[in-house]
């Protein structure tokens, strides 16, 4: 039986695996960890979701606009050229929800005592010592940042 991630061992590798699996499972989007993030387009679309439980924290997604458009197109089954900005943002919020659910399930295991908030748009400061990864999704950027601290 594999060890479940905990906040102490949820590293960039396990975080990227959770996100890659979620992208493949829900949107049929292929991505890989990126060794050269500077080669990808900059992030200009942002979504976040908070979680509460034994540890409080959140997940921040920072993506290139084209990634968000491609994600929305895949989710809706249309061409990316048909996607409006608000649809791209909603798709990124939905991905934040999916990734947040995957993270709290991984952290909580069978006895998950975490709750997940509602996804929001916008960038925020992740605080000190976040776990982060940058993914290359067919040449487009997706950054995922997980921040957490013991519950007060």
Q: Quote the pLDDT of residue 1.
A: 36
* CATH number of the domain that residue 126 is part of: 3.40.1550.10
Q: Quote the pLDDT of residue 9.
A: 65
> Is 1 a member of any domain?
no
Q: How many domains does the chain fold into?
A: 1
> Is 2 a member of any domain?
no
**150 Cβ neighbours under 8 A, 6+ residues apart:** 54, 55, 56
Which tens digit of pLDDT belongs to each residue from 64-102? 999 999 999 999 999 999 999 999 999 999 999 999 999
> Is 112 a member of any domain?
yes
d(CA 61, CA 96): 7
d(CA 5, CA 2): 9
Structural domain harbouring 81: 12-34+45-150
What is the rounded (10 degree) CA torsion for 29, 144, 1, 52? -120
Q: Quote the pLDDT of residue 25.
A: 95
Which tens digit of pLDDT belongs to each residue from 6-60? 444 689 999 999 999 999 999 999 999 999 999 999 999 999 999 999 888 999 9
**Alpha carbon 67 to its chain's center:** 12
> Is 105 a member of any domain?
yes
> Is 131 a member of any domain?
yes
> Is 6 a member of any domain?
no
3 pLDDT more than 60 = no
Which tens digit of pLDDT belongs to each residue from 107-137? 876 677 899 999 999 988 877 789 999 999 9
> Is 4 a member of any domain?
no
């Amino acid at each position: 039986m594999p060890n479940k991630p905990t906040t102490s061992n949820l590293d960039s590798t396990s975080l990227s695996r959770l996100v890659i699996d979620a992208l493949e499972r829900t949107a049929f989007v292929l991505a890989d960890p990126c060794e050269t993030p500077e080669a990808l387009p900059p992030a200009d679309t942002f979504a976040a979701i908070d979680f509460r439980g034994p540890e409080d924290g959140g997940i921040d997604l920072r993506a290139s606009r084209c990634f968000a458009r491609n994600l929305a197109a895949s989710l809706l089954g249309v061409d990316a050229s048909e996607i409006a900005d608000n649809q791209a943002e909603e798709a990124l919020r939905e991905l934040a929800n999916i990734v947040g659910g995957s993270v709290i399930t991984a952290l909580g295991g069978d006895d998950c005592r975490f709750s997940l908030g509602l996804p929001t748009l916008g960038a925020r400061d992740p605080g000190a010592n976040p776990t982060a990864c940058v993914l290359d999704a067919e040449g487009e950027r997706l950054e995922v940042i997980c921040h957490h601290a013991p519950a007060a």
